[in-house]
Structure 1
């Protein structure tokens, strides 16, 4: 069976995250510039091969000062590590519409294996004849696992920035001719 290449549709995708601020509210952000692709056997996503990269300079939390701090050496160090990347090693079907995605996430020169549950929305044809597939990924990582250690203690106890980063990723891929 022939392999099929799928490319990200950035106008219908979003790479989002949330982190606790001052231990009780969430700050949301997203990456504005990214690329992703998938390789499948035919149109079956069983054992699909995914790759993803995001430009650190495109981080957006709706606050220019915070975004600048996130790009600095205290966090992502965008000057020396301009991209974060992900390369899958497995995409296993759990049951109808549910998969588990495993792969290596590389942030700031540190690579760690991660697993995320994926909701597979199915394959559809849009009004212009393009074959598309939708995926939703929600997961958690600990930012300190990748050396994103900066924090500040609060006078009331606790810390300014939570360690857990919750991912909320919506991906739409387009089948390539």
Structure 2
């Protein structure tokens, strides 16, 4: 029996981390997103996952930086308002760890990425809804997705690293049949 799961946005965070000046880390997240997964029963092996985030909802805690990230230098939110991930494989690596392979689309570029998903388990909440939790992470090259703005300090250091760590804390809600 196919089971559908919907992300619970009030108990999920879709974030990223990137080195600034190669000495500190800037963290950010997307505030508006949707995700669905389908499983065979409650078994996550071979699950299918579809995720979208609104680029305009990016937030780093610094309004000026958020505006720059939304500009043509980075995400170009007015032309490419959504980023998307569609899984092509969801493989168990151990009892609670999965390898999630799929296609990530940012701007006008779609590339395959591999993510690690750690299953936190499932629980029934106070309302009788079954919830499943995951910590998902992986790394991408921002330049491969045309997020190419770059600057070099006077000392020759890079302002923003090419390597971006994706960090997602996700709670999925099982949908009634």
TM class by shorter chain equals over 0.9
**Stretches of 4+ moved more than 6 A in 1?**
none
The number of aligned residues is: 176
1:91 aligns with 2:90: yes
Q: Does residue 152 of structure 1 match 2:154? A: no
SS at match of 2:6: strand
How far apart, in 2, do the equivalents of 1:88 and 1:33 lie?
A: 20
Q: CA deviation at 1:3?
A: 0.6
- Deviation of residue 43 (structure 1)? 1.1
Deviation at 1:33, TM superposition (A): 0.3
Alignment partners' CA distance in 2, 1:108 and 1:143? 11
Unaligned runs of 5+ in 2: none
Aligned position for 2:50: 51
Structure-to-structure mapping, 1:67-78, within 5 angstroms: 67-78=66-77
2:39 is the counterpart of 1:40? yes
Q: 1:48 and 1:123 mapped to 2: Cα distance?
A: 15
Q: How does 1:133-148 map to 2 (within 5 A)?
A: 133-148=132-147
Q: Tell me the CA shift for residue 128 of structure 1.
A: 1.6
SS at match of 1:38: strand
Separation (CA, whole Å) in 2 of partners of 1:39 and 1:97: 18
Q: Residue 118 of structure 2 corresponds to which residue in structure 1?
A: 119
Structure 1 regions of 5+ residues with no counterpart? none
Distance 2:22 2:43 in 1: 42
How far the C-alpha of 1:109 sits from its partner, in A, is 1.2
Tell me the distance in 2 between the aligned counterparts of 1:105 and 1:168: 14
